[in-house]
């Protein structure tokens, strides 16, 4: 978590830094800060608890001049969110300042050593320890800052993306990374540094993704130089960004989350585009084709992911088992990596991640890789750490997802995973040609069906008004709808702070049924399919205890309508594709409830979009 930005060039740095921080606020937003070397040569550091807007207020009447600077938006790990713990942090002499995204795991022992050498610390952060260490090495070994930085980083255990600014050198920035992301934009006699490309895209499309343990030496008027922390020279690899500026702006919507919910017909279509052709029956999945034999012979698939991506992984479990007849285990990356899991060299691991930066997922990948498994990534962010760590993969083409609550990434993941399962099933011969063709055809109709559900926004808003003051909520579903129940509950709790749980509908009677009374809204997916009658029975069990039923049903349904308090009718589709359509009402409902409760929808408390710490 945390977002970092840096600028060196001919323009004023402050507006660029602040705009960049606002774009990166999804990564953390409990405090923000900037440092610039002013036109008069002073090092000015402004930092404040709160959002970037608070920093703007705070620095209103201050000297913000300077054409070199760094900025940070924080998601607290070490030390509570307050002005002092905000970045940038000073070295002992206050000549150096640094911003940092990541965690220095051995900071306590490094700090102890520094304290013995007379260093005193202002904050509780691990970051301050590192910048003190860099300065300490520079002074005691009498070496240049770049070498001191390399030497310090060799002592660090943990993850970092850092940028260092030296008060006495207004023409140079040093940046380095390991584990946390960093991209450098290469402009015309100017450079931009950021955690992702969103602060950069408006100025240049030429970027260099920095690799682990590489240090970028960025000098005014010179070419970008990169060396490893062991001082080996690296030639920068400049790539062209595909991102467009409008994709990262709100475009007239009140919130990114709403915009992203509405983008789903497009993002689902984009995730299929160029891959699926129902006329010819062709399904092109480049990454899978490279490893087709492995997929065909796989005795097992392990899915590793966190949060919403884990829910998409659960849908994949049903799909791969049903169509490709491969057993699937869906693992929380954070549990998997620490329990000495059994991994075979013929296992296929599918790692799912919107950001491609989730620390636990990345570590689980490394573990599985070390045991010889083939790792397949399903990521949204192109060039992200997970995308680069996997052997092969298929990108979701959802476009940048900025709202902290994941919406369009989920449906894009499920889309890609469905195509993958169908591709493998076809290659393995475990699906009849007619069924395969029917599903391909049905997939192509999904964007239009999602569009239909979005038209129900006003009626969903009315339902939201009725349940906005609930303290608890239960989400139920069976089969393919069970992961959607989990996802519905996660959406509600993370943005509206209402306690919600997702359950397989039949499990309700093994415990949660005790919670049901007239104050308990129960959100059920009761679309037509193999489990329909059983879900109807579960609805009756809730009604018998006076619970409130809000049901997503197939258009034209009569039975549930007769017993539910509210129904939301969605277009009919194949049972295995229902999650792509049935999740939309739950996304809209959470969104409206959160807005009505006055919550910050795009930046819910305590959360960050990209969880780069374990
Ligand atoms: C929920 C949400 C999180 C993420 C999780 C994994 O709305 O956004 O639960 O799904 O942090 O993130 P990625 O997919 O980036 O690995």
614 pLDDT more than 80: no
The protein residue whose alpha carbon is closest to atom 4 in ligand 1 is 307
Instruction: Quote the tokens at residue 70.
Output: 């760094």
Establish whether residue 611 lines the binding site of ligand 1, counting it when its CB lies within 6 angstroms of any ligand atom. yes
Q: pLDDT digits over 58-74, tens only?
A: 999 999 999 999 999 99
Give the whole-angstrom CA distance, residue 88 versus residue 71. Answer: 7
Residue 609 CA: nearest ligand 1 atom is: 8
Give the DSSP H or E segment for 159.
Answer: strand 158-166
352 pLDDT more than 90: yes
Please check whether the two domains, 3-246 and 250-353+389-396+405-448, share a CATH topology.
no
What pairs with residue 499 in β-bridges? 472
Establish whether residue 204 lines the binding site of ligand 1, counting it when its CB lies within 6 angstroms of any ligand atom. no
Establish whether residue 405 lines the binding site of ligand 1, counting it when its CB lies within 6 angstroms of any ligand atom. yes
Establish whether residue 355 lines the binding site of ligand 1, counting it when its CB lies within 6 angstroms of any ligand atom. yes
Give the whole-angstrom CA distance, residue 326 versus residue 296. Answer: 9
What does the pLDDT average to over 529-544? 93
Residue 409 CA: nearest ligand 1 atom is: 14
Which residues, in sequence order, are CB contacts of 32 under 8 Å at separation 6+? Answer: 21, 25, 47, 48, 50, 51, 52, 54, 55, 71, 72, 73, 74, 86
Q: pLDDT digits over 65-108, tens only?
A: 999 999 999 988 788 889 999 999 999 999 999 999 988 989 99
Establish whether residue 380 lines the binding site of ligand 1, counting it when its CB lies within 6 angstroms of any ligand atom. no
Return the closest-CA partner of residue 46 out of 54, 38, 34, 57. Answer: 34
Which residues, in sequence order, are CB contacts of 293 under 8 Å at separation 6+? Answer: none
For a pLDDT cut of 70, what percent of the chain falls above it? Answer: 100
Q: pLDDT digits over 419-477, tens only?
A: 999 999 999 999 999 999 999 999 999 999 999 999 999 999 999 999 999 999 999 99
- In three-state secondary structure terms, 94 is coil
Q: Is 2 a catalytic site residue?
A: yes
Number of Cβ within a 10 Å radius of residue 84: 15
Give the whole-angstrom CA distance, residue 250 versus residue 245. Answer: 11
Question: Which residue shows structure tokens 């301050």?
Answer: 128
pLDDT band at 603, cuts 50/70/90? confident
Q: Give the pLDDT score at 103.
A: 86
Give the whole-angstrom CA distance, residue 181 versus residue 160. Answer: 8
Q: Give the pLDDT score at 606.
A: 84
CATH of the domain spanning 250-353+389-396+405-448, picked from 3.10.20.30, 3.40.50.10490, 3.30.950.10, 3.40.630.30: 3.40.50.10490
How distant, in Å, are the alpha carbons of 71, 357, 413 from that of 213? 21, 16, 31
Candidate from 316, 354, 408 with most ligand 1 atoms within 8 A of CB, to mutate: 354
176 pLDDT more than 90: yes
pLDDT band at 607, cuts 50/70/90? confident
Among residues 408, 426, 491, 609, the one annotated as catalytic is 609
Establish whether residue 590 lines the binding site of ligand 1, counting it when its CB lies within 6 angstroms of any ligand atom. no
Per the CATH hierarchy, to which homologous superfamily does domain 3-246 belong?
A: Aminohydrolase, N-terminal nucleophile (Ntn) domain (3.60.20.10)
Q: pLDDT digits over 360-419, tens only?
A: 999 999 999 999 999 999 999 888 889 989 999 999 999 889 899 999 999 999 999 999
CA of 217 to the centre of ligand 1 (A): 33
Which residues, in sequence order, are CB contacts of 510 under 8 Å at separation 6+? Answer: none
Can you give the residue ranges of every domain in the chain? 3-246, 250-353+389-396+405-448, 456-600
Record: fold of 456-600: Rossmann fold (3.40.50)
pLDDT band at 297, cuts 50/70/90? very high
């Amino acid at each position: 978590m945390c977002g970092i930005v840096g600028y060196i060039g001919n323009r004023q740095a402050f507006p660029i830094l602040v705009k960049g921080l606002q774009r990166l606020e999804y990564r953390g937003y409990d405090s923000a800060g900037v440092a610039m070397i002013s036109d008069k040569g002073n090092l000015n550091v402004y930092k404040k608890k709160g959002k970037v807007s608070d920093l703007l207020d705070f620095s209103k009447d201050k000297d913000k001049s300077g054409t070199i600077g760094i900025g940070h938006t924080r998601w607290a790990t070490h030390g509570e969110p307050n002005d002092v713990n905000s970045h940038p942090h000073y070295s002992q002499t206050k000549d150096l300042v640094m911003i940092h995204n990541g965690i220095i795991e051995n900071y306590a022992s490094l700090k102890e050593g520094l304290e013995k050498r007379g260093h005193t610390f202002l904050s509780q952060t691990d970051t301050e320890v590192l910048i003190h260490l860099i300065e300490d090495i520079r002074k005691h070994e009498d070496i240049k800052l770049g070498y001191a930085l390399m030497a310090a980083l060799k002592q660090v255990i943990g993850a970092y993306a850092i940028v260092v600014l030296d008060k006495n050198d207004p023409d140079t920035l040093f940046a380095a990374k390991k584990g946390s992301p960093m991209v450098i934009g290469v402009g015309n006699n100017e450079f931009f540094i950021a955690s992702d490309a969103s602060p950069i895209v408006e100025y240049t499309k030429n970027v260099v993704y920095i690799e682990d343990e590489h240090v970028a030496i960025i000098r005014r008027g010179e070419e970008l130089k990169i060396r490893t922390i062991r001082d080996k020279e690296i030639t920068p690899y400049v790539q062209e960004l595909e991102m467009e500026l409008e994709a990262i702006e709100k475009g007239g919507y009140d919130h990114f989350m709403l915009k992203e919910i509405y983008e789903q017909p497009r993002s689902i279509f984009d995730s299929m585009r160029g891959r699926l052709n129902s006329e010819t029956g062709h399904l092109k999945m480049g990454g899978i084709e490279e490893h087709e034999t492995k997929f065909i012979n796989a005795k097992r698939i392990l899915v590793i992911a966190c949060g919403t991506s884990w829910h998409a992984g659960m849908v994949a479990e049903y799909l791969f088992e049903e169509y490709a007849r491969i057993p699937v285990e869906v693992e929380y990356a954070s549990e998997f990596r620490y329990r000495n899991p059994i991994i075979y060299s013929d296992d296929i691991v599918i790692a799912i991640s919107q950001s491609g930066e989730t620390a636990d997922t990345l570590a689980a990948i490394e573990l599985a890789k070390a045991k010889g498994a083939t790792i397949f990534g399903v990521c949204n962010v192109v060039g992200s750490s997970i995308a680069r760590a996997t052997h092969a993969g298929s990108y979701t083409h959802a476009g940048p997802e900025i709202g902290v609550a994941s919406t369009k990434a989920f449906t894009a993941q499920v889309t890609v995973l469905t195509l993958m399962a169908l591709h493998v099933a076809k290659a393995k011969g475990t699906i009849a040609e007619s069924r395969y063709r029917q599903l391909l055809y049905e997939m192509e109709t999904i964007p239009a069906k999602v569009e239909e559900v979005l038209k129900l926004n006003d009626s969903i808003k009315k339902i939201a008004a009725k349940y906005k003051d609930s303290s608890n909520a239960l989400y139920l579903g069976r089969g393919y709808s069970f992961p959607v129940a989990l996802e519905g509950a996660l959406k509600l709790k993370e943005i509206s702070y209402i306690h919600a749980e997702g359950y397989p509908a039949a499990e309700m009677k093994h415990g949660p049924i005790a919670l049901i009374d007239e104050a308990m809204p129960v959100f059920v997916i009761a679309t037509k399919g193999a489990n329909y009658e059983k879900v109807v029975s579960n609805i009756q069990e809730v009604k018998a205890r006076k619970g409130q039923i809000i049901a997503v049903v197939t258009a034209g349904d009569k039975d549930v309508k007769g017993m539910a308090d509210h129904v939301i009718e969605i277009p009919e589709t194949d049972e295995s594709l229902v999650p792509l359509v049935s999740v939309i009402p739950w996304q809209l409902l959470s969104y409206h409830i959160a807005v009505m409760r006055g919550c910050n929808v795009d930046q819910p408390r305590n959360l960050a979009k990209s969880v780069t710490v374990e």
